[in-house]
Structure 1
Amino acid sequence: MLLPSIRSLRLTLALPLALALGGAAQAEEVVVFAAASMKTALDQLAADFQAETGNTVTISYAGSNALAKQIIEGAPADIFVSAAVNWMDEVEKAGLAVDGTRKDLFGNTLVLIAHGKDAPPVSLGKDTDLAGLLAGGKLSMALVDSVPAGQYGKAALESLGLWSGIEADVAQSDNVRAALALVSTGEAPYGIVYATDAVADDNVTVVATFPEDSHKPILYPGALLTGAADDADKAFYEALSGDKADAIFAAQGFKILN
């Protein structure tokens, strides 16, 4: 009678372990390439998704230009969300976006920020003395020829007739969050970022908002990529346009477009 009891005990102990291992084996990883300006909101959505599903979401943040180039060169990614239409266009032209999945998810606003919590407002116009405002310091921006935030910023300054007067005073960074950090730490007195970046940092003040007609609309197109292979990829991409995502992104100042 002793042997059957031991065997029963072993089966009883082994069954939960086998089920646990089986559940772990079914967990899937979603790899997302996303514009750096999305970090605060997207990190929150990813954490909620992981808690609810048990799947892992790995996110690579950078300038949309760098991410698009990496995808085209073969970097393994399941989802791409760009901060500009042109970089999603490049990925689509390369045949790497799943047909019918591309959609504009969010919008944003371009702002001028200053270091500190109580910086005085600035009136933006053709007569604005930005160079005088900088007082020998730098205007922090993302790369003006390739990163969307920098491209929008340069276009806005050109539209207002201010670019030529401060071009030599611009400090360029690889992405918009890096540009934000220079102002946050006081290394640059002013910078141009998205409104959503400013919300994420308590050490800066929005001192002006650029007119919407001074630059192209700021859109965040997303797409499922051809490397996406499992249900978790599709589920997280769908979650990006769900009610929970809308609430999270709206709270960070994004415009909801989906």
Structure 2
Amino acid sequence: MNVSRVSVAGLLAGGVAMALAAGLSAARADDSKVTVFAAASMKNALDAVNAACEPEVGEAAAISYAASSALAKQIEAGAPADVFVSADLDWMKYLSDKKLVRPDTEVKLLGNAIVLVAPKDSTAEAKLEKGFDLAGLLGDGRLAIGEVKSVPAGKYGKEALEKLGMWGAVEGKLAQAENVRAALKLVATGEAAAGIVYATDAVAEPGVKVIGTFPEDSHKPIVYPVAQTTDSKDAETPAFLKCLQSAKAAEIFKGQGFTVLAPSN
């Protein structure tokens, strides 16, 4: 099987990976703030929500973005996070089963969709249904996707490709990335012919265009749960969680393309 696994450091020549790492280091170093570990796909929206919530919470949170899988493992290893926002239910359950998050604080916060994107100047179009020749669309190019065994966007993408009968033809053309924003960057820079990312990622990246949307019934529902960690130390964590579920946060999330699942406070 010829599957390309691409490291974030190699992918993001412009330094997005360095920013993610720097954010994690900053979060570890600044225990005077609410420390949030959040799925990479949330960056644009959550940065805006964080700024909007600062007056209400009394401080801006320190936020680290990466794949939900990587962040869950960091928390398991003892990283000092107060809040975890996952891009799927599986990684939240992983921490819940280990009693590393407080179940009384867990909320299904947001929903999303997965789409097929291509570089912004592409003329390709895709009708994502059974029988569509995705491998033909790719030609000699690669399909960028989050790591299909661990990264939520990659897991959703593989499930959809299998359901639509496309997986076998494209499995050898994958460029697997450590998080969905890394996969997005591969497409934006032309290193991949197409990519599977969240609809919200496509909104956030002007270097790509959506050429197809995967049917909702081709994969399980995309749900972003949030919870306070068991070892949370910051007294402002409850205020931050409350603001995440506020009407003003909901408007920001909707503006970035998310579906808001939690009732607004």
Name the residue aligned to 1:187: 191
Amino acid at match of 2:161: L
Q: Is the 8 A contact 2:52 2:249 kept in 1?
A: no
Name the residue aligned to 1:13: none
Name the residue aligned to 2:72: 68
Matched, 1:220 2:238: no
What are the within-5 Å matches in structure 2 for residues 34-45 of structure 1?
A: 34-45=38-49
Counterpart Cα distance in 2 of 1:47 and 1:192: 29
Post-superposition shift, 1:187? Answer: 0.8
The size of the alignment, in residue pairs, is 232
Post-superposition shift, 1:197? Answer: 0.2
Name the residue aligned to 1:146: 150
Cα shift readout 1:103-162 (whole Å, capped 9, x = no counterpart): 100000010011115644311122211111112000000001110000000000000000
Name the residue aligned to 1:81: 85
Amino acid at match of 1:157: L
- For residue 31 of structure 1, the aligned residue among 24, 29, 35 is 35
Matched, 1:244 2:248: yes
Post-superposition shift, 1:88? Answer: 0.2
Q: Is the 8 A contact 2:82 2:234 kept in 1?
A: no
What are the within-5 Å matches in structure 2 for residues 1-258 of structure 1?
A: 28-50=32-54, 53-117=57-121, 119-258=123-262
Counterpart Cα distance in 2 of 1:127 and 1:173: 26
Name the residue aligned to 1:4: none
Aligned identity (percent) is 53
TM-score by length of 1: 0.86
Q: Is the 8 A contact 1:117 1:202 kept in 2?
A: no
Counterpart Cα distance in 2 of 1:99 and 1:214: 29
Counterpart Cα distance in 1 of 2:166 and 2:179: 22
Q: Is the 8 A contact 2:143 2:194 kept in 1?
A: yes
SS of structure 2 residue aligned to 1:245: helix
Name the residue aligned to 1:22: none
SS of structure 2 residue aligned to 1:231: coil
| Distance 1:249-1:117 versus aligned 2 partners, 3 A rule | farther
Cα shift readout 1:49-103 (whole Å, capped 9, x = no counterpart): 2355541311111111111111111110000000010100011111111231101
Counterpart Cα distance in 2 of 1:118 and 1:133: 11
Q: Is the 8 A contact 2:76 2:95 kept in 1?
A: yes
| Distance 1:117-1:242 versus aligned 2 partners, 3 A rule | farther
Counterpart Cα distance in 1 of 2:76 and 2:234: 21
Counterpart Cα distance in 1 of 2:44 and 2:233: 26
Q: Is the 8 A contact 2:160 2:219 kept in 1?
A: yes
Post-superposition shift, 1:254? Answer: 0.4
Amino acid at match of 1:213: D
SS of structure 2 residue aligned to 1:196: helix
For structure 2, list consecutive stretches of 5 or more residues without a partner in the other structure.
1-30
